[in-house]
Structure 1
Amino acid sequence: MNQQKNATAPTQPGARLDRSDERVKHNDSIVDLAKAFIDRIRSGDLGMLPVAVGLIVISTVFSILNPVFLLPNNLVNLLFDCATVGIISLGIVCVLLLGEIDLSVGSMSGLSSAIIGVLWVNAGWPVGGAILVALIVGAAVGALYATLYSRLGMPSFVATLAGLLALLGLQLYILGPTGSINLPYASPLVRFGQILVMPAWVSHVLALLPGAVMVVVGMRTRERRKVANLSSQPIGALALKAGILTIALEFAAYYLNLGRGVPWMFGLLVVLVVVLNYALTRTRWGRSMFAVGGNREAARRSGINVRRIYMSAFMLCSTLATLGGILSASRLASSSQQAGTGDVNLNAIAAAVIGGTSLFGGRGSAYSALLGIIVIQAISNGLTLLNLSSSLRYMITGAVLAIAVIVDSLARRSRVSHGRA
Structure 2
Amino acid sequence: MTATAVKKEGPAAVTPAHTVGDHVRNYLARVRGGDLGALPAVIGLVVLCVVFTIVRPVFFSAGNFANLFTQGAAVTVIAMGLIFVLLLGEIDLSAGFASGVCAGILANVVSVLGYPWYVAVLAALVTGVLIGLILGFLVAKVGIPSFVVTLAGFLAFQGVVLLLMKEGSNISISDDVIVGIENGRIAPAIGWLLAAVAILGYAVVQLLRHRNRISRGLVTEPAAVMGARIGGLALLIVLAVYVLNQERSINPLITSNKGMPVVVPIVALLLVFWTFVLNRTAYGRHLYAVGGNAEAARRAGINVDRLKISAFVICSGMAAVGGIIAASRDRSVDPNTGGSNVLLYAVGAAVIGGTSLFGGKGRMINAVLGGAVVAVIINGMGLLDLSSGLKFIFTGLVLLLAAGVDALSRRRSAATGTR
**What's the TM-score, normalizing by structure 1?**
0.90
Q: Which amino acid in the other structure matches residue 115 of structure 2?
A: W
Q: Could you say which residue in structure 2 is the equivalent of 1:365?
A: 363
Q: Which amino acid in the other structure matches residue 418 of structure 1?
A: T
Q: Could you say which residue in structure 1 is the equivalent of 2:18?
A: 28
Structure 1 residue 46 and structure 2 residue 46: aligned? no
Going from structure 1 to structure 2, the CA distance change for 1:174 and 1:145 (only over 3 Å counts) comes to: same
Structure 1 residue 218 and structure 2 residue 218: aligned? no
Q: CA contact under 8 A between 1:26 and 1:226: conserved in structure 2? A: no
Name which of 239, 243, 262 aligns with 2:231. Answer: 243
**Which runs of 5 or more residues in structure 2 are unaligned?**
5-14, 248-257
Name which of 271, 274, 281 aligns with 1:283. Answer: 281
Q: Could you say which residue in structure 2 is the equivalent of 1:112?
A: 102
Q: Which amino acid in the other structure matches residue 188 of structure 1?
A: V
Going from structure 1 to structure 2, the CA distance change for 1:333 and 1:218 (only over 3 Å counts) comes to: closer
Structure 1 residue 191 and structure 2 residue 180: aligned? yes
Q: Could you say which residue in structure 2 is the equivalent of 1:269?
A: 267
Structure 1 residue 124 and structure 2 residue 114: aligned? yes
Q: What are the superposed Cα offsets for residues 159-209 of structure 1, whole Å, 9 maximum, x if unpaired?
A: 00101111111111121145211111x622112222x12222232233334
Q: CA contact under 8 A between 1:280 and 1:286: conserved in structure 2? A: yes
Q: What are the superposed Cα offsets for residues 79-124 of structure 1, whole Å, 9 maximum, x if unpaired?
A: 0111111111111111000000100111111111211222221222
Residues in 2 aligned to 1:46 and 1:319: alpha-carbon distance in whole angstroms: 29
Q: Could you say which residue in structure 1 is the equivalent of 2:345?
A: 347
Residues in 2 aligned to 1:106 and 1:391: alpha-carbon distance in whole angstroms: 21
Q: What are the superposed Cα offsets for residues 185-239 of structure 1, whole Å, 9 maximum, x if unpaired?
A: x622112222x12222232233334443443333333333334433222222222
Structure 1 residue 176 and structure 2 residue 166: aligned? yes
Q: CA contact under 8 A between 2:18 and 2:220: conserved in structure 1? A: yes
Q: Could you say which residue in structure 2 is the equivalent of 1:405?
A: 403
Going from structure 1 to structure 2, the CA distance change for 1:210 and 1:417 (only over 3 Å counts) comes to: farther
Structure 2 counterpart SS, 1:151: helix
Residues in 2 aligned to 1:420 and 1:372: alpha-carbon distance in whole angstroms: 25
Q: What are the superposed Cα offsets for residues 332-369 of structure 1, whole Å, 9 maximum, x if unpaired?
A: 01110111111001001000000000000001011111
Q: Which amino acid in the other structure matches residue 236 of structure 1?
A: A
Count of residues in Structure 1 that have an aligned counterpart in Structure 2? 397
Q: Could you say which residue in structure 2 is the equivalent of 1:84?
A: 74
Structure 1 counterpart SS, 2:390: helix
Residues in 2 aligned to 1:282 and 1:398: alpha-carbon distance in whole angstroms: 34
Shift of 1:400: 0.5
Name which of 71, 92, 102 aligns with 2:92. Answer: 102
Residues in 2 aligned to 1:130 and 1:27: alpha-carbon distance in whole angstroms: 51
Residues in 1 aligned to 2:400 and 2:225: alpha-carbon distance in whole angstroms: 35
Q: CA contact under 8 A between 2:33 and 2:418: conserved in structure 1? A: no
Q: Which moved more, 1:91-100 or 1:124-133?
A: 124-133
**CA RMSD, aligned part only?**
1.9
Shift of 1:240: 2.3
Q: Which amino acid in the other structure matches residue 391 of structure 2?
A: R
Q: Percent identity?
A: 39
Name which of 34, 41, 49 aligns with 1:59. Answer: 49
Structure 1 residue 151 and structure 2 residue 141: aligned? yes
Residues in 1 aligned to 2:20 and 2:107: alpha-carbon distance in whole angstroms: 56
Going from structure 1 to structure 2, the CA distance change for 1:177 and 1:216 (only over 3 Å counts) comes to: closer
Q: Which moved more, 1:409-418 or 1:153-162?
A: 409-418
Q: Which amino acid in the other structure matches residue 193 of structure 2?
A: V
Q: CA contact under 8 A between 1:82 and 1:266: conserved in structure 2? A: no
| Higher Rg of the two aligned structures | 1
Q: Which moved more, 1:238-247 or 1:83-92?
A: 238-247
Structure 2 counterpart SS, 1:359: coil
Q: Could you say which residue in structure 1 is the equivalent of 2:307?
A: 309
Residues in 2 aligned to 1:291 and 1:133: alpha-carbon distance in whole angstroms: 33
Q: Which amino acid in the other structure matches residue 48 of structure 1?
A: A
Q: Could you say which residue in structure 2 is the equivalent of 1:417?
A: 415
The structure carrying a bigger helix percent of its residues is 1
Shift of 1:26: 8.6
Shift of 1:302: 0.7
Structure 1 residue 136 and structure 2 residue 126: aligned? yes
Residues in 1 aligned to 2:220 and 2:131: alpha-carbon distance in whole angstroms: 45
**Which runs of 5 or more residues in structure 1 are unaligned?**
1-13, 15-24
Residues in 1 aligned to 2:278 and 2:140: alpha-carbon distance in whole angstroms: 22
